[in-house]
Structure 1
Amino acid sequence: MQTIGLLGGMSWESSAVYYKLINEGVRARLGGLHSARIVLWSVEFQEVAARQAAGDWDALADMMIEGARALERAGAEMLLICTNTMHKLADQVASAITIPLIHIADIAAVAIKAVNSSRPLLLGTRFTMEEPFYRDRMRDKHGLQLLRPSSDEERLVHGIIYDELCQGSVRPESKARCRAVIDAARMRGADGVILGCTELDLLLSQSDSDLPVFDTTALHANAAVERSLAARSRPARTSP
């Protein structure tokens, strides 16, 4: 199988979920004691969050490229950035390495289109919801129009992510507030829900809405498993 490179720690709460889901996926497909080949570069998230808040994206790009190159040197054959927000820098990171970067928005788009959703609600950090990098990619590459929450709802979701989920706190009252955001979006025509932050699957799931819910963490992890194991099914080349 191919070795999966995880650029994580943003936050480690969701990176731990990636590790678990990828290993479970390999075991489910191969059985027995099989597990994934993974290398992990985990950043110090306090530094990342401070630079995000300050808008110092150049320094963050340098940090991400350093981690991506380290993973490639360590033997990674593909790269996953284990956060939606930091895909703001995905193109810069991809251009600095020779291994493929599996873009989380592209993987989510496949799942969204598979159920004929075309106007899903985007939930995530304020960077992901407010800035165009995620929504523009979904529109320009996949023909999807993502619906944003209201400004107040965006502040609410962002706060839940950074003040609670990234710190390991999962609160029933926050789940109820997020469900209310989803219900309001449904009244405005949303036909799906993108959990566009890799921590949101700690709080929300398909059971929280009768709209299709797209868990980007699980979708991204599953794509890595499929790519890693694809080489096993290829026939061996024979000498002429």
Structure 2
Amino acid sequence: MIEEQVIGIVGGMGPESGIMLCNYINSLTPVTKDQEHLSMVLMSFPKHIVDRTAFLDGKTRINPAFQISKVIKKLESAGATIIGIACNTAHSSIIFNEIKKDLKKRGSTLKLLHMPQITCDILGKTYPKVKRVGVISTNGTYKSKIYESTLKERGYEVILPNFEFQNDVIHKMIYDADFGIKASPNIRTKEVKQLKNKTLDFFYKNNVEAIILGCTELSLVFSENPSEIKVIDSTMSLARALVQEASVVNTKNNEVRTLYTL
């Protein structure tokens, strides 16, 4: 008998990101009929998970890790064996380590994937000659240096804007209450397009060879990659890793078999 791996996705950060991750997983799975798709559970409880950047900025003392852990527990009860969190900022050490601590305390056997590390892995495999890398992210990810430290450990030269540009251009593109991606996930507002172009122009002028989309919301507006610069989408990277992990099954003789190789 084959032991099935079930993908569990923590959504709601924002809600469209979890849906996009599911869509990427489906698009990456080589199938000819419904029954060949991977089993997947998405749970999205946006009201219950405080904003990650707000927590990292000290605007709330509530660590979102606690509610994320509760969602993971629900996913495990629903049969999930592999977990992906559809939010880069949730992988900052003060949040992610608390989640891992809770899983260990519960004796959970879930496999929890780390989106930024996976994204950097895929960057290296896809573009082995790239050395100058830029990161587009929320203020929370920017300040916690999730990507910056991981990339530097791997020998990359990391190019980031100063905080004024980060806050007034990149973070605003994502968070602005009137026109930002979070406020209008299904509408490409002219303001977002302008800030996107301004962001790309910064990296062009700084001779960046590749850009990491270090916020899951960015997948919604960077669907068409600029031809002059390489782009690594963290949401797509996590989807690839989840498909790879979920395609490894155990047979009744405890043998391991891989269904799909990406």
State the secondary structure of the residue aligned to 1:210. coil
Question: Per-residue displacement from partner, 1:1-32 (whole Å, max 9, x unpaired)?
Answer: 41011111000011111121112323xx1221
Contact 1:122/1:149 (<8 A) preserved: no
Letter in 2 for 1:128: T
CA RMSD between the two structures: 2.5
Quote how far apart the aligned CAs of 1:54 are. Answer: 4.3
Q: Please list the CA deviations of residues 189-239 of structure 1 after superposition, one character each: whole Å capped at 9, or x if unmatched.
A: 3221111110101111453241110111111112111211122xx676389
Structure 1 residue aligned with 2:86: 82
Report the counterpart of residue 36 of structure 1 in structure 2: 38
Residues 206 and 213, structure 1, Cα contact 8 Å, conserved in 2: no
Change (3 A) 1:127 1:162: same
Q: 2:118 aligns with which of 104, 107, 116?
A: 107
Match of 2:160 among 136, 148, 152: 148
1:20 lines up with 2:36 in the alignment: no
Q: Distance in 2 between matches of 1:147 and 1:224?
A: 28
The answer to whether the 8 Å contact 1:166/1:199 transfers is yes
CA contact (8 A) 2:18 2:42 kept: no
Q: Is the 8 A contact 1:3 1:76 kept in 2?
A: yes
Report how far residue 120 of structure 1 moved.
1.1
- Write the distance in 1 (CA, Å) between the matches of 2:206 and 2:111: 37
Tell me if 1:220 matches 2:231.
no
Distance 1:67 1:238, change over 3 A: closer
Q: Spell out, residue by residue over 1:104-155, the C-alpha distance to the aligned partner (whole angstroms, 9 max, x if none).
A: 1111112221212222111011111222233223333x33343212323212
Q: Distance in 1 between matches of 2:193 and 2:48?
A: 25
CA distance in 1, matches of 2:79, 2:246: 13
Tell me the equivalent position of 1:2.
5
User: Could you tell me which amino acid in structure 2 is paired with residue 218 of structure 1?
Assistant: M
Residue aligned with 1:121, SS: strand
- Report the equivalent of 2:260: none
The whole-number CA distance in structure 1 between the counterparts of 2:149 and 2:77 is 32
Q: For 1:94, give the aligned amino acid.
A: K
Identify if the C-alpha distance between structure 1 residues 79 and 46 changes in structure 2 by more than 3 Å, giving closer, same or farther: closer
Taking structure 2 as the reference length, what is the TM-score of the superposition? 0.79
Is the alpha carbon distance of 1:152 and 1:11 closer, same or farther for their aligned partners in structure 2, counting shifts above 3 Å? same
Structure 1 residues 1-240: aligned runs within 5 Å: 1-26=4-29, 29-33=30-34, 34-45=36-47, 48-49=50-51, 51-52=54-55, 54-56=58-60, 58-88=62-92, 89-97=95-103, 98-114=109-125, 115=127, 116-140=129-153, 142-155=154-167, 156-163=169-176, 164-167=180-183, 168=185, 169-231=187-249, 237=253
Question: Which protein is richer in helix relative to its size?
Answer: 1
User: SS of the residue aligned with 2:135?
Assistant: strand
Alignment-mate amino acid for residue 28 of structure 2:
G
Contact 2:210 2:229 in 1 (8 A): yes
Q: What is the percentage of aligned positions where both structures have the same residue?
A: 24
Structure 2, unaligned stretches of length 5 or more?
104-108, 256-262
Unaligned ranges ≥5, structure 1: none
Matched residues, number: 234
Deviations 1:135-181 (A, max 9, x none): 223333x3334321232321221121123212223224422432332
Aligned letter for 1:181? T
Worse overlay, 1-10 or 156-165 = 156-165
SS in 1 for 2:33: coil
